[in-house]
Amino acid sequence: MEQYEPDRLSAARSAAVRRSLTSGRGALTRRSLLRASGIGALTVGGLAGLSACGIPPAKLADAGAASDDHSAKEKRVVFSNWTEYMDVSDDEKHYPTLEAFTRRTGITVKYTADINDNVEFFGKVQPQLAAGQDIGRDLICVTDWLAARMIRLGYAQKLDPSHLPHAFANLSEQFRTPDWDPGRAYSYPWTGIPTVIAYNTRATGGRTVDSVSQLLDDPKLRGRVSFLSEMRDTIGMTLLDLGKDPASFTDDDFDAAVARIQKAVDRKQVRRFTGNDYTADLEKGDIAACVAWAGDIVQLQNDSPDIKYVIPKTGYMLSSDNLLVPARARHKTNAERLIDHYYRPPIAAQLAAYINYVCPVDGVRAELTKIDKSMADNTLILPDAAMAAASHAFRSLSAEEETAYEQKFAKLIGA
Is 222 domain-assigned? yes
pLDDT of residue 34: 32
pLDDT value at 413 more than 90: yes
pLDDT value at 74 more than 90: yes
pLDDT value at 15 more than 60: no
pTM listed for this prediction = 0.80
Taking residues 283-311, what's their average pLDDT?
93
308 and 268 part of one domain:
yes
Is 233 domain-assigned? yes
Confidence at 64, pLDDT banded by 50, 70, 90: low
Please say whether the dihedral angle defined by the alpha carbons of residues 234, 239, 240 and 241, taken in this order, is positive or negative: positive
166 and 309 part of one domain:
no
Is 351 domain-assigned? no
Is 45 domain-assigned? no
Residue type, 254: F
Contact 307, 297 (CB under 8 A): yes
Instruction: Give the range of the structural domain holding residue 153, as residue numbers without chain letter.
Output: 76-186+325-343
Closest residue by Cα to residue 35 from 96, 98, 84, 94: 84
133 and 107 part of one domain:
yes
289 and 404 part of one domain:
yes
200 and 87 part of one domain:
no
Question: What phi and psi values does residue 289 have, to the nearest 5 degrees?
Answer: -155, 155
Contact 150, 327 (CB under 8 A): no
Contact 63, 154 (CB under 8 A): yes
Find the angle CA(388)-CA(166)-CA(384) to the nearest 5 degrees: 15
Closest residue by Cα to residue 323 from 197, 205, 181, 210: 181
182 and 330 part of one domain:
yes
Is 198 domain-assigned? yes
Lowest-confidence segment of 48-52, 140-144, 301-305, 409-413 by average pLDDT: 48-52
**DSSP state, residue 163:** G
φ/ψ bin of 223: left (φ > 0), alpha (ψ from -120 to 50), beta (otherwise): left
Taking residues 217-244, what's their average pLDDT?
96
176 and 227 part of one domain:
no
Is 41 domain-assigned? no
271 and 407 part of one domain:
yes
Is 284 domain-assigned? yes
- Reported as type and span, the H/E element at residue 274 is strand 270-274
Confidence at 302, pLDDT banded by 50, 70, 90: confident
- What count of residues does the chain have? 415
Domain holding 224: CATH number? Answer: 3.40.190.10
265 and 336 part of one domain:
no
pLDDT of residue 62: 58
Closest residue by Cα to residue 414 from 313, 270, 298: 270
Q: What contacts 187, CB < 8 A, 6 or more positions away?
A: 147, 151, 156, 159, 181, 322, 323, 324
Contact 336, 159 (CB under 8 A): yes
Paired sense of beta strands 316-324 and 139-143, if any: antiparallel
Top-confidence residue, 99 or 90: 99
Is 287 domain-assigned? yes
What DSSP assignment string belongs to 169-220? HHB-GGGS--TTSGGGSSEEEEEEEEEEEEEEHHHHTT-----HHHHHH-GG
Q: For residue 310, count other CB atoms closer than 10 A to its CB.
A: 16
Alpha helices of 53-117 — where are they, by DSSP H?
Answer: 96-105
pLDDT of residue 5: 38
180 and 221 part of one domain:
no
Indicate the number of domains in the chain: 2
pLDDT of residue 339: 98
280 and 405 part of one domain:
yes
224 and 314 part of one domain:
yes
Contact 151, 129 (CB under 8 A): no
Alpha helices of 267-398 — where are they, by DSSP H?
Answer: 278-284, 294-303, 332-341, 345-355, 365-371, 373-376, 385-389
